[in-house]
């Protein structure tokens, strides 16, 4: 099947107000905050545009962050230098419009964010996410993320492992 979406950087001509994911805070973030965060270099925002309708079908935000070494599993941390902070990329928000949920778009947006991170000249060890609820935690665990040692709603996935998973797909 042909992927019916184009993933683009959020721009002023995109209609953000119509986006509805069923998670009001995520809809509001896109409508009122994401553009401003882009202009101020707080986070990038990428939208999936449904080609046929020219509407936003999903979005994610992405920015630099770091995660405490103490939140990484002992097995993994053993292989890392003893710096207290591990360079990471935060997937700040991820949402798919209700009408498009369950068709693989959420996974496609996650893969796009991972590939974008892997392409960057600025390296990061892991992708980090803050899930908004248990269903979000389940979505990220399904895709290989592991909860922080002490913060169950924050999860991480080493980008090298993400790259191996993508190659195996
Ligand atoms: C969570 C969300 C992003 C998933 O997007 P989606 O397009 O509906 O999901 P996909 O169709 O891409 O699903 C991809 C895979 O994840 C699985 N999955 C989807 N939602 C899941 C969930 N909540 N828990 C566990 N697995 C989930 C699917 O079963 C599918 O598995 P498969 O590839 O093995 O068949 C979307 O439902 C959404 O935006 N919900 C409201 C906002 C939200 O909860 N955001 C989460 C960030 S905290």
Please give the residue that has the higher pLDDT: either 156 or 3.
Answer: 156
Burial group, residue 149, by CB count within 10 angstroms (0-12, 13-18, 19+) = middle
Task: Judge whether residue 38 has pLDDT over 80.
Answer: yes
Give the model's pLDDT for residue 123: 97
pLDDT in tens, 13-34: 999 999 999 999 999 999 999 9
Q: Is the pTM of this model over 0.85?
A: yes
**How does residue 3 score in pLDDT terms, banded at 50, 70 and 90?**
confident
Going from the Cα of 139 to the center of ligand 1, the distance in angstroms, rounded, reads 5
**Residue 91 Cβ < 6 Å to ligand 1:** no
Ligand 1 neighbour 132 (Cβ under 6 A): yes
Q: Is the pLDDT of residue 136 over 90?
A: yes
Give the residue with greater pLDDT, 4 vs 112: 112
DSSP 29: I
Distance CA 112, CA 107 (A): 9
| Residue nearest atom 21 in ligand 1 by C-alpha distance | 139
Give the number of other CB atoms < 10 A from CB of residue 166. 12
Ligand 1 in contact with 89 (CB < 6 A)?
Answer: no
Lateral strand order in the sheet of 154-158: 5-9, 44-50, 55-68, 85-96, 126-130, 154-158, 146-147
Strand 85-96 relative to strand 154-158: parallel, antiparallel, unpaired? unpaired
CA of residue 26 to ligand 1 center, whole Å? 14
Average pLDDT over residues 62-88: 96
Pocket of ligand 1, candidates 99, 142, 155, 165: which has the most ligand atoms within 8 Å of its Cβ, to mutate?
142
Distance from C-alpha of 46 to C-alpha of 86, rounded to nearest angstrom:
25
Confidence band for 1, pLDDT divided at 50, 70 and 90: low
């Amino acid at each position: 099947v042909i992927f019916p979406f184009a993933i683009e950087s959020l721009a002023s001509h995109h209609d953000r107000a119509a986006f509805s994911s069923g998670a009001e805070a995520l809809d509001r973030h896109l409508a009122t905050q994401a553009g401003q965060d882009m202009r101020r270099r707080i986070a990038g925002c990428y939208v999936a545009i449904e080609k046929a309708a020219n509407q936003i079908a999903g979005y994610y935000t992405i920015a630099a962050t770091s995660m405490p070494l103490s939140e990484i599993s002992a097995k993994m941390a053993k292989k890392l230098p003893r710096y207290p902070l591990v360079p990471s990329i935060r997937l700040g928000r991820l949402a798919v419009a209700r009408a498009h949920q369950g068709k693989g778009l959420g996974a496609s947006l996650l893969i796009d964010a991972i590939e974008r991170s892997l392409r960057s000249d600025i390296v990061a060890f892991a992708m980090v996410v803050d899930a908004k609820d248990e269903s979000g935690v389940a979505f990220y665990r399904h895709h290989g993320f592991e909860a922080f040692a002490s913060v169950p709603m924050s999860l991480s996935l080493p980008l090298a492992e993400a790259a191996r998973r993508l190659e195996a797909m």
